[in-house]
Amino acid sequence: MRSGTVCRGLGGVYEVETPEGVVEAVLRGRIKREERTGEKVVVGDRVDVDEDRAGEGTVWSIVKVHERTTVLARKAPGKAPRPKAIVANVDQVLVVFAAANPDPHLRMLDRFLVIAASSDIAPVIVVNKTDVAGMDAARALFAPYERAGYTVHYTAARDGTGVDGLREALCGRLSALAGPSGVGKSSLLNAVQPGLGLRVSEVSQAVNKGRHTTVTAQLIPLECGGWVADTPGLREVGLWEIEPDQLQFYFPEFEPLLGDCRYPTCTHTHEPGCAVRAAAQSGEIDAGRYDSYQRMFLGEDEE
């Protein structure tokens, strides 16, 4: 028996990284039945594998799936909107945007941050292409996020700016990458780990919406330990599950004000005596962030 982490699953065969090396394993017994009825084994799952028989080649089976610390899930296709797990045990979500080319869509960033918070996963903001926008302009654009308490890395995959800091943030953890196409996610990973050889897209194509080159989720192992999850469709993760009255807790800068509204049931959208709205009007809370809150509260769709 060995324990390990599922790095890839294809056609019912799972690659499991164990301290003694990578093994291919299939599902057996109770877990196989559960897979048909409910939760699937997904990348990031910590599993126990057992050697079925030594003979003509070893056959490994996944005999136990450990409880997940976190789950990133997206809406399963079909009528009943059931969450479908795509990655388990993610420690942090790196939300990557470009400071320019393409210009950052900050309301989309806010949605990613809410998704991470509601999944109990620490978000880290990465602002790439600082060489294009200039570092001062990049810092000015993302200052509201630093003020709100988020960790922000400023990088340029092109000249290596911030790459060491980013590598340090990734080592030893399981990270998911989110962000639109063309912002430099693949370029950054290639800079963090030379030799990785991820395909880098041309900007002209990459800016095309809804273009996904990766089909199945997989974990990319880092030489310094840890993994980066390469997941398709992270845009569809999570937001549909959030109750409007929970949304306020996913904006960290609201937190110190939440006790100060006139009404304890304040939704911070229109009520008189709302401390959050007053702070947005005075500039203490960033107006764009507040706008994002209102849009998400009303269930407005960005895409």
Interface residues with ligand GDP (CB under 6 A) are 128-129, 131-132, 156-158, 181-187, 200-203, 206
d(CA 87, CA 229): 8
Whose Cβ is closer to Mg ion: residue 153's or residue 289's? 153
d(CA 150, CA 140): 14
Can you tell me whether residue 214 is helix, strand or coil? coil
d(CA 88, CA 192): 23
Whose Cβ is closer to Zn ion: residue 193's or residue 267's? 267
**CB 233: neighbour CB atoms within 10 A?**
15
Lookup: tokens for 253: 């800068």
Minimum CB separation of residue 19 from ligand GDP in Å reads 31
Q: Are 189 and 175 spatial neighbours (Cβ–Cβ below 8 Å)? A: no
Q: Are 86 and 215 spatial neighbours (Cβ–Cβ below 8 Å)? A: no
Whose Cβ is closer to Zn ion: residue 42's or residue 266's? 266
- What is the residue type of 210? G
Site string for Mg ion, 151-190 (x = CB under 5 A): ----------------------------------xx----
Minimum CB separation of residue 185 from ligand GDP in Å reads 3
- Maximal CA-CA distance, the chain: 75
- Using alpha carbons, list the distances in angstroms from residue 73 to 109, 236, 241: 18, 8, 10
> Which residue number is nearest to ligand GDP in terms of Cβ?
184
Q: How many residues bind Mg ion (CB under 5 A)?
A: 2
Minimum CB separation of residue 214 from ligand GDP in Å reads 10
Site string for Zn ion, 223-262 (x = CB under 5 A): --------------------------------------x-
Whose Cβ is closer to ligand GDP: residue 161's or residue 292's? 161
Whose Cβ is closer to ligand GDP: residue 7's or residue 192's? 192
Whose Cβ is closer to ligand GDP: residue 200's or residue 258's? 200
Minimum CB separation of residue 126 from ligand GDP in Å reads 10
**CB 11: neighbour CB atoms within 10 A?**
7
Q: Residue 222 binds what, of Mg ion, Zn ion, ligand GDP, none (CB under 5 to 8 Å, by partner type)?
A: none
Q: Are 99 and 152 spatial neighbours (Cβ–Cβ below 8 Å)? A: no
Minimum CB separation of residue 177 from ligand GDP in Å reads 8
Site string for Zn ion, 267-286 (x = CB under 5 A): -x-----x-x----------
Q: Are 172 and 86 spatial neighbours (Cβ–Cβ below 8 Å)? A: no
Question: Assign residue 237 a region: left if phi > 0, alpha if psi is -120 to 50, beta otherwise?
Answer: beta
The beta strand positions in 66-192, using DSSP E, are 71-75, 83-88, 92-98, 122-128, 151-154, 174-178
Minimum CB separation of residue 107 from ligand GDP in Å reads 19
> With binding defined as CB under 5 A, does residue 296 bind Zn ion?
no
Contact residues for Mg ion, defined by CB under 5 A? 185-186
Contact residues for Zn ion, defined by CB under 5 A? 261, 266, 268, 274, 276
